Amino acid sequence: MKKILLTLIMILFPISIFASGDVTVDKTSISVEAGSSDSFTITSNNARGEISIVSSNTSIVSLNKDSWVIENINEDEIKTETITVTGNSVGSAYITLNINATTLDGENINTSKTIAVNVSERKSSNANISDIKIDDVSIVGFNPDILTYNISTEKDRVAISVTVEEHATVDPNYGVQELKYGVNKFSLKVTAEDGTTKNYLLNITRIDNRDTNNYLKSLSVSQGELNFNKNTTSYQVKLESEITSINISAEAESEKATIIGDGIKSLAITNNVFEITVIAENESERKYTITIIRNNEYVITYNSNGGTKCSPDSVAVTKGTKIGALCKTSRSGYNLSGWYTESSGGTKVTANTIADRSFTIYAQWVKKSTTSNPDTGIETPIITILVIILASLGIYFIVKNRNISFD
């Protein structure tokens, strides 16, 4: 019954109850470099009043303000203030916060809070190289603000040494380096104590004094014809198919050059491509190409021997194969007897003759026959004419002596 009564009283007559107030600081210590700043934050939760802020040694630490007045705060309201701390010189100091405040529920806050401050020496931002030496000799005209250097040498290796400003580091620290011919690039990254970076570049050119001559002095083949000119790099040589290998001879103009690809070569039945490479002392290359064509055909030439001219008058036949269809020719008053290896006599050639060489074939002719009839002794053409004449006369007399009507 008492609980119910108390509840009713609270409903009818509400009482304001404030949350407990407080003043807090987010740091108890600060580390800062001389000349640099850091900060801390004061938070007021349901409290109003004043806070004084002092440094134990202003030559070490200075503050952006020396007090904070907390006012016009309402229930459940939070206010903050940020205080900047600057390190003036290397050393230690304390920041004291004297808090004189009252919470919203009437509680007094009279206390002090201390923040320890350590001011260290400011880190260097100097990322300069002070000297670069190649084989213990400083680069002429070196300046820390010039980032790229071009150097030439005939050496095949050099020792690179770099000196940087205090507290800085360089990466990589090369030491002895092999050099290829031409430009060799070396990057130098310098990092200062505070992380500042600077990049330098060395372009070291190894001078190439090697012989550059990659020309041939001569080029020849053991079979066929090849007209050499050192400025001409492509050649074609024709050989008969019976030739199955060839020797390619080559000589370089420079005694310091190397030749690859010459010597005895086997030949395929069709085209053969061989490449002769001349490598100069400086490793530059020049390539010469020889294409060797093995002739796999024989040529058969027609001589019509008084007959009509053949078109074409010659044909190419693959070696070892049949000649094939022969030319058709004619001659007035003659019959073609055939094709032969000689204009008179010789061996007869047919479509089935195998081509074993290139040669000319000749048409041989037989005069058309005009011999007498053996029974009459009169030549056959005369008998034919007489028969035609007599037959015509007979028909004429029959028609004339008879009255023939065609109606």
Interacting residues of 164 by C-beta distance below 8 A, sequence separation 6+: 127, 128, 129, 130, 170, 190
DSSP secondary structure code for residue 379 in this structure: B
Domain ranges in the chain with CATH number 2.60.40.4270 = 297-367
Which CA distances in Å does 42 have to 24, 28, 55, 68, 353? 6, 11, 16, 9, 119
Domain ranges in the chain with CATH number 2.60.40.10 = 11-120
Tell me the CA end-to-end span of the chain in Å, nearest whole number: 167
CATH code of the domain occupying 129-206: 2.60.40.2340
The token pair that represents 258 in the structure block: 């190397």
Nearest to 285 by CA among 214, 182, 230: 214
The token pair that represents 385 in the structure block: 């004419």
Which helix (DSSP H) or strand (DSSP E) does residue 3 occupy? helix 2-12
Domain ranges in the chain with CATH number 2.60.40.2340 = 129-206
The token pair that represents 25 in the structure block: 């600081």
- 259, 263, 269, 272 alpha-carbon torsion, rounded to 10°: 10
Which helix (DSSP H) or strand (DSSP E) does residue 79 occupy? strand 78-87
Nearest to 50 by CA among 27, 67, 64: 67
Give the type of residue at 218. Answer: S
CA 186 from centre of chain:
24
Superfamily of domain 11-120: Immunoglobulins (2.60.40.10)
**Do 72 and 57 contact (CB within 8 A), yes or no?**
no
Give the type of residue at 45. Answer: N
- Classify residue 200 by burial, with Cβ atoms within 10 Å: 0-12, 13-18, 19+: buried
Which helix (DSSP H) or strand (DSSP E) does residue 88 occupy? none
Q: How many CB atoms lie within 10 A of CB 84?
A: 12
pLDDT of residue 296: 82
pLDDT for 110-124, tens place per residue? 999 999 999 999 999
User: What's the angle, vertex CA 34, arms to CA 30 and CA 35, rounded to 5?
Assistant: 110
pLDDT of residue 242: 86
Distance CA 55, CA 180 (A): 64
Residue 159 main-chain phi, psi, to 5 deg: -105, 120
**Do 271 and 236 contact (CB within 8 A), yes or no?**
no
Distance CA 14, CA 169 (A): 72
pLDDT of residue 378: 44
pLDDT of residue 385: 55
DSSP secondary structure code for residue 373 in this structure: P
The token pair that represents 113 in the structure block: 């809070």
DSSP secondary structure code for residue 259 in this structure: E
User: What's the angle, vertex CA 188, arms to CA 185 and CA 194, rounded to 5?
Assistant: 160
- pTM, full prediction: 0.53
Distance CA 303, CA 300 (A): 10
Distance CA 279, CA 236 (A): 23
Distance CA 24, CA 71 (A): 16
- DSSP letter for each residue of 219-288: EEESSS-----TT--EEEEEEETT--EEEEEEEESSTT-EEES-EEEE--SSEEEEEEEEE-TTS-EEEE
pLDDT of residue 105: 87
pLDDT of residue 390: 63
Residues in the chain where the model's pLDDT stays below 50: 1-18, 372, 374-380, 382-383, 387, 399, 402-407
Distance CA 146, CA 200 (A): 8
The token pair that represents 314 in the structure block: 């010659």
Interacting residues of 7 by C-beta distance below 8 A, sequence separation 6+: none
pLDDT of residue 45: 93
CATH code of the domain occupying 216-291: 2.60.40
For 297-367, CATH number out of 2.60.40.1080, 2.60.40.4270, 2.40.37.10, 1.10.10.10 equals 2.60.40.4270
Residue 374, preceding peptide bond in cis (omega within 30° of 0)? no
